[in-house]
Amino acid sequence: MAFGLAMLVVFLAVITTAAVVDGFVPPSHVQSIDPTKVSETPPFDHPGLRKVADGAYEAYYVARIFSFTPSDIEVPVGSRVTFYVTSADVEHGFSIPATGVNTMVTPGWVSEVSHTFRDRGTYLLVCNEYCGSGHQLMAAKVEVK
């Protein structure tokens, strides 16, 4: 029994330490949006990339069966991009493999995730939540120059 309790304490300590070091926190400010009015609601009525400061950008994406809008964005190397994503129809995923960018996109909610692009290249942005028969075609690109 003592060994089991000790292992539980060690397990919780490791998880807590990893969460603090990696900055994992529960969502505190959740944004909502009417999924039937996404194309009328700023800033999602004109999705795209916006520069907010030197080296800092905001990217607004709308996920629809079977595409992301915008389909391509271009940012300078070293830029920190905060992605704001919503869905106008069904549940989607929003993932850029090998970057840590991975979030669910649920109709009625705005998902937020950030990443600093330190390496040049073309990053594929994919839907990783099955959304229908054309799911495999749902992709976009982030070009880092």
Please report, for the chain, the start and end positions of each structural domain, with discontinuous segments joined by +.
29-144
Split at pLDDT 50, 70, 90, the class of 32 is confident
Q: Is the pTM of this model over 0.85?
A: no
CATH classification code of 29-144: 2.60.40.420
Q: What is the pLDDT of residue 98?
A: 85
Split at pLDDT 50, 70, 90, the class of 25 is low
Nearest to 139 by CA among 86, 65, 67, 69: 67
Indicate whether 28 pLDDT > 70.
no
Q: In DSSP terms, which residues pair with 20 in a beta bridge?
A: none
SS3 category, 143: strand
Looking at residue 137, the DSSP 8-state letter turns out to be: G
Task: Give the pair of three-digit tokens for residue 137.
Answer: 């075609």
Q: Using only the alpha carbons of the chain, give its radius of gyration.
A: 18
Indicate whether 50 pLDDT > 60.
yes
The predicted-structure confidence for 85-140, as pLDDT tens digits, reads as follows 999 999 999 999 988 899 999 899 999 999 999 999 999 999 998 988 888 889 99
Q: What is the pLDDT of residue 135?
A: 87
Task: Give the pair of three-digit tokens for residue 81.
Answer: 């991009």
